[in-house]
With several copies, the nearest count.
Chain A
Amino acid sequence: MHIYVQEEDFSQDALLRDIGKSSQTGAIVSFIGKVRDDTNTLHQLEIEHYPMMCKQALRAMAEDVKKRFLLEDVLIVHRFGKLNVGENIMMVATASSHRQAAFDGANFLMDYLKSNAPFWKKESFLDGTSKWVEPKESDAHAMTRW
């Protein structure tokens, strides 16, 4: 299990080299979330986090998903601070002997994390305004799929 909470960017290659090193790993699925700007209005995304709670919350989710999908390994990295459009926000990765478990584990972990990892996003726009990102209805209900 690999859990990182950090301000600086991460290297996918370096992180993925660390997981799934066992000869039983046949599949690695990774998800990378990036700062998106559909309308060319975003200045920055600021991510606030609860430092004392983050790592243990992420670790508990990673352990849960590892057991539930019988995964070989799970990785979560989540950044905080001020991020520009196009920057990496976070990554999860799952290693498994079979591909469907790796896909399902990563997909589930993202649903889980959206509503349970202590991070909050605030968007600052080019016109000087800013607002806290509201949780999506779809995110709150996503967990009921599993």
Chain B
Amino acid sequence: MDVKLTYFAWVRERIGLHDETYTTSATTAQELALELKERGENYSAAFHDLTLIRIAIDHEMAQWSACIKDAKEVAFFPPMTGG
């Protein structure tokens, strides 16, 4: 399955990409993150502590346990600091 991955703030900086298209067979957001973590130093620096990261699936906030089977876009980012 092809999914668009988008990164924001220090997650984006550590990985060194705004977004990419990635092929995965992961079924949950957590499985996907653990897979990504093994892709190199930049990814392992970004994903070393998943409790620091929030996710959105197709532009809606989601839990790590959420299913990504039909997802078009998964975003990873630190807790928001708007306002």
Whether A and B touch (Cβ < 8 Å) is answered with: yes
List residues of A whose CB falls within 8 A of some B CB: 33, 47-50, 52-53, 56-57, 78, 89-90, 99, 110, 113-122, 132-135, 139-140
In the bound assembly, the distance between CA atoms of A122 and B76 in angstroms comes to: 17
Contact-residue size bin, chain B (C-beta under 8 Å from the other chain): 10 to 19
B1-60 residues with Cβ-Cβ distance < 8 A to A are: 6, 8-10, 12, 56, 59-60
List residues of B whose CB falls within 8 A of some A CB: 6, 8-10, 12, 56, 59-61, 73, 75, 77-83
Q: A119-B81, A119-B83, A120-B81 are in contact. List 10 more A-B contacts (CB 8 A).
A: A33-B83, A50-B6, A50-B75, A53-B59, A114-B81, A114-B82, A115-B79, A118-B80, A121-B81, A121-B82
Contacts of B6 in A (CB 8 A): 50
> Given that A48-B8, A50-B8, A50-B56 are known contacts, is A118 also in contact with B78, CB under 8 Å in the complex?
no
Docked-complex contact A120 and B80, CB < 8 angstroms:
yes
In the bound assembly, the distance between CA atoms of A32 and B56 in angstroms comes to: 27
> Given that A50-B56, A78-B82, A115-B79 are known contacts, is A120 also in contact with B73, CB under 8 Å in the complex?
no
Docked-complex contact A115 and B80, CB < 8 angstroms:
yes
In the bound assembly, the distance between CA atoms of A61 and B75 in angstroms comes to: 20
> Given that A50-B8, A120-B8 are known contacts, is A110 also in contact with B81, CB under 8 Å in the complex?
no
In the bound assembly, the distance between CA atoms of A138 and B8 in angstroms comes to: 23
Docked-complex contact A119 and B80, CB < 8 angstroms:
yes
